[in-house]
């Protein structure tokens, strides 16, 4: 029943909006007051579309030539020309000319030409031209030109050109450039320059230069230059970055300055090195290091054999390089290896945690050697008689049957 009523209202509005009455180009008259049941059943009769009203009341729906004042409609207010004032309707306000002022309706506000002012609608506000002002809707706001102002909607905001303002929506925002930012429950799209934050529950996508912060629950994507920060729960991508990235996975084509922090970070023009090394516990270790010199991730695998037992482990870590001179750097790293003893895998906790402080000697631009001390912490819940730890300075088993051993060591190798 409700759907049938909405269809009937819509058809009535379309009929009134497109009525082909005579004297289409007749001179507009101005009247102080008009009362209409449904056009043409009113005080202006069949001349209504050639009359601009200062105060207008439409019991059901009315069609007029213009408005310079206030208009109230039980269902709809429809204006052929310009609107300057305020409109209130139970269902819809529709203006085919320019608008300036206020529109409030239970369902829809529609303007075919430029609008300056504020719109509030239970469902949607639509402007098929440039706009300046404010839009608030239960479902959606749409501007098919430029907007200078703000948009807030329960579901989505759309500006098909650039805007100077802010968008806030329960689901999504779209624009071709914004000066203050976007806030959405799910996703933000911007295909132009943006100055301000993009904040979304799932994803932010920007295809232009950006000065600000992208904050998303899942992913941030910026396909041009970003001056600011990207923070996400999973993945960040920036073509050019001057700032900071924080996420599980990060990718940058070109890092101008700043840092990227994550489980795996790849910077195309950043720090990428393979390493062969050995230490007191794992005699041979192959590592790959990716990120930037100030912060990089480490993926490693190592092995050793002692007491007729093969020990091997895979590890993950992070590191930073502190420059001393053109040939010398100080290298600080922390890694964690899950150690397997004479088997391919191990269902128990058997973690070798290492902190390395190394002197890095840069032999050439692409080749370095290093040496330095390490501090090791072995955390294990397997057989306490394991012979993996070569020596220890601390040995304690806690109430939860976790054994901790600590011992000093060394690290030596080459990086290329």
Question: Which DSSP string do the residues of 321-343 spell out, in sequence order?
Answer: EEE-SSSEEEEEEEEEEEEEESS
User: What is the chain's mean pLDDT, rounded?
Assistant: 92
Q: 78-133: per-residue pLDDT in tens?
A: 999 999 999 999 999 999 999 999 999 999 999 999 999 999 999 999 999 999 99
For residue 348, report the phi and psi dihedrals to the nearest 5 degrees: -100, 160
Q: How confident is the model at residue 22 (pLDDT cuts 50, 70, 90)?
A: very low
Residue 27's pLDDT is 72
Q: How far apart are CA 143 and CA 147, in angstroms?
A: 7
Q: How far apart are CA 201 and CA 182, in angstroms?
A: 12
Residue 72's pLDDT is 98
- Do the beta carbons of residue 203 and residue 221 sit within 8 Å? yes
Q: How confident is the model at residue 62 (pLDDT cuts 50, 70, 90)?
A: very high
Q: How far apart are CA 277 and CA 369, in angstroms?
A: 9
The residue count for the chain: 416
- Residue 4 three-state SS: helix
Place of tokens 């992208």: 214
Torsion of CA 272, 223, 133, 185, to 10 degrees: -70
Per-residue DSSP letter, 26: P
DSSP tally for the chain: helices H, then strands E = 1, 36
Q: Which of 251, 229, 256 is nearest to 240 (CA)?
A: 256
- Do the beta carbons of residue 296 and residue 289 sit within 8 Å? yes
20 versus 28: the higher-pLDDT residue is 28
The rounded percent of the chain whose pLDDT value lies above 90 is 86
Q: How far apart are CA 214 and CA 182, in angstroms?
A: 10
- pLDDT surpassing 90 at residue 383: no
Q: How far apart are CA 323 and CA 302, in angstroms?
A: 27
Q: How far apart are CA 97 and CA 239, in angstroms?
A: 43
Beta strand residue intervals within 138-248, DSSP E: 140-143, 147-153, 156-159, 163-169, 172-175, 181-184, 187-190, 194-195, 198-200, 203-206, 210-216, 219-232, 235-246
- pLDDT surpassing 80 at residue 33: yes
Place of tokens 């093969």: 310
Q: How confident is the model at residue 21 (pLDDT cuts 50, 70, 90)?
A: very low
- Residue 145 has a CB neighbour count (10 Å cut-off) of 17
- Residue 365 has a CB neighbour count (10 Å cut-off) of 6
Residue 28's pLDDT is 80
Tokens of 6: 């909405």
Q: Which of 343, 348, 346, 333 is nearest to 403 (CA)?
A: 348
2 CB contacts (<8 Å, ≥6 apart)?
none
- Do the beta carbons of residue 297 and residue 315 sit within 8 Å? no
What DSSP letter does each residue of 121-153 carry, written as one string? ESSEEEESS-EEEEEEESSEEEESS-EEEEEEE
Q: Which residues of 66-103 are buried (b: 16+ CB within 10 A; e: fewer)?
A: bbebbbbbbbbbbbbbbbbbbbbbbbbbbbbbbbbbbb
Q: Which of 111, 25, 5 is nearest to 67 (CA)?
A: 111
């Amino acid at each position: 029943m409700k759907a049938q009523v909405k269809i009937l209202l819509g058809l009535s509005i379309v009929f009134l909006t497109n009525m082909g009455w005579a004297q289409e180009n007749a001179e507009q008259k101005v009247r102080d007051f008009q009362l209409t049941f449904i056009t043409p059943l009113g005080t202006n009769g069949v001349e209504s579309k050639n009359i601009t009203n200062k105060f207008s009341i439409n019991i059901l729906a009315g069609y007029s030539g213009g408005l310079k004042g206030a208009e109230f409609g039980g269902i709809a207010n429809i204006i052929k020309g310009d609107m300057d004032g305020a409109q209130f309707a139970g269902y819809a306000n529709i203006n085919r000319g320019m608008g300036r002022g206020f529109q409030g309706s239970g369902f829809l506000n529609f303007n075919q030409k430029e609008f300056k002012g504020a719109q509030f609608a239970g469902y949607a506000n639509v402007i098929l031209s440039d706009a300046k002002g404010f839009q608030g809707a239960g479902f959606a706001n749409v501007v098919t030109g430029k907007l200078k102002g703000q948009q807030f909607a329960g579901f989505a905001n759309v500006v098909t050109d650039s805007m100077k303002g802010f968008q806030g929506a329960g689901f999504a925002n779209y624009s071709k450039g914004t000066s203050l930012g976007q806030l959405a429950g799910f996703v933000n799209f911007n295909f132009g320059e943006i100055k301000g934050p993009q904040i979304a529950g799932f994803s932010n996508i920007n295809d232009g230069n950006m000065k600000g912060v992208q904050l998303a629950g899942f992913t941030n994507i910026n396909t041009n230059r970003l001056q600011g920060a990207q923070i996400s729960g999973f993945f960040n991508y920036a073509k050019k970055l001057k700032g900071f990235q924080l996420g599980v996975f990060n990718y940058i084509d070109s890092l101008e300055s700043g840092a990227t922090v994550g489980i795996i970070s790849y910077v195309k023009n950043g720090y990428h090195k393979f390493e062969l090394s050995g230490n007191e516990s794992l005699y041979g270790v192959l590592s790959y290091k990716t990120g930037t010199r100030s912060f990089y991730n480490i993926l490693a695998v190592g092995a050793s054999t002692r007491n007729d037992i093969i020990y091997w482990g895979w590890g993950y870590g992070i590191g930073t390089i502190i420059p001393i001179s053109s040939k010398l750097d100080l290298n600080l790293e922390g890694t964690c290896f899950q150690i397997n003893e004479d088997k391919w895998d191990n269902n128990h906790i058997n973690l070798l945690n290492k902190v390395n402080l190394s002197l890095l000697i840069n032999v050439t631009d692409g080749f370095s050697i290093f040496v330095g001390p390490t501090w090791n912490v072995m955390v294990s819940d397997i057989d306490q008689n394991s012979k993996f730890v070569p020596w220890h300075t601390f040995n304690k088993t806690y109430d939860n049957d976790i054994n901790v051993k600590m011992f000093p060591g060394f690290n030596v190798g080459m990086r290329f």
